[in-house]
Structure 1
């Protein structure tokens, strides 16, 4: 794998419903980041329409470890291609396990990891009300909580803050990294 240093790769990770995609959308809209979503890549690889919901048990079907490896590897490959074009990239996925984050770190040692968080009540409400390509349910969220390997190196972002507060936080973080 090619190692690309000093590039702007932001990994937005966390449990389903935590606000990952919201942060990624802000990075895309206000700072021009190319947005790579695991939900979209997974369905594209499986030949499924992105808007079609797939109800699989946690860790089964297109959500098995083999599929997840394919999805995350594809995300890194896409990021490498975009970086070669001089673009900034945000990777939007749960990244529940350290091996998943290692795929990114091996290609992008300087990647910025953001851990999206919100209260249990907020996450459950978001999952019930969401109209999105994500297939996550409250049951999936609870399973994710059981297996999540929390990284000590990620910047924790409470996504219950206002858009203005989140934009300021992201701006400060990017400025500190020279973006």
Structure 2
């Protein structure tokens, strides 16, 4: 069983859905960048902070603070014997390297879905995330290939049961 799982990918790819399965079914503590970002900004998770890409609470400086805070919280939880799942885009190499520098043997999962599925998800989303299709397209442009890590890819365009089964096999957790 892995103590730290990092689920990364573009907005709408199904990261939070996978993280929710690990949280609900395998007992992982769920650290979500969208929630942490809003907490640091003094907002409630359900409050909209919609802004253009890289603006508002989504600047590079704030993003750096969010990832550092996520790592800090993960360390504290792991030190208390908990298992943690990090849920964020991790589209930049420095973000993934921050994890590598602070944890031994993190397990990375790239969440993926066909683009037409992502477009539909983002259109109908009622969630803590403020990302929309335009944000997704900008993320896709800026995504730095994860050459510095080993990772597995999960296509999230599957049933919850199929995804639970895949995660159970990958991580060796007993589903509740």
TM-score (norm 2): 0.94
Q: Tell whether the 8 Å contact from 2:2 to 2:171 is kept in structure 1 after alignment.
A: no
Structure 1 gaps, min length 5 = 1-5
- Mapped to 2, the partners of 1:7 and 1:23 lie a distance apart of 15
Equivalent of residue 127 in structure 1, options 119, 122, 127? 122
User: Equivalent residues in 2 for 1:9-158 (5 A)?
Assistant: 9-152=4-147, 153-158=150-155
CA deviation vs aligned residue, 1:18-60 (integer Å, no higher than 9, x gap): 0000000000011000000000000000011211111211112
Which residue number corresponds to residue 3 of structure 1? none
1:175 shift after superposition: 2.1
Q: CA 1:34–1:20 in 2, change beyond 3 Å: closer, same or farther?
A: same
CA contact (8 A) 2:2 2:107 kept: no
Alpha-carbon distance between aligned partners in 1 of 2:146 and 2:161, rounded to the nearest angstrom: 26
The normalised TM-score by structure 1 is: 0.92
- Whole-angstrom distance in 2 between the partners of 1:106 and 1:16: 25
Q: RMSD value over aligned CA atoms?
A: 1.3
1:171 aligned residue (160, 168, 172): 168
**Match of 2:85, SS?**
strand
CA drift of 1:61 comes to 2.2
Change (3 A) 1:7 1:169: closer
SS in 2 for 1:133: coil
Structure 2 gap segments, 5+ residues each: none
Does the 8 A contact of 1:17 with 1:126 survive in 2? Answer: yes
Structure 1 runs (4+) greater than 3 angstroms displaced: none
SS at match of 2:172: helix
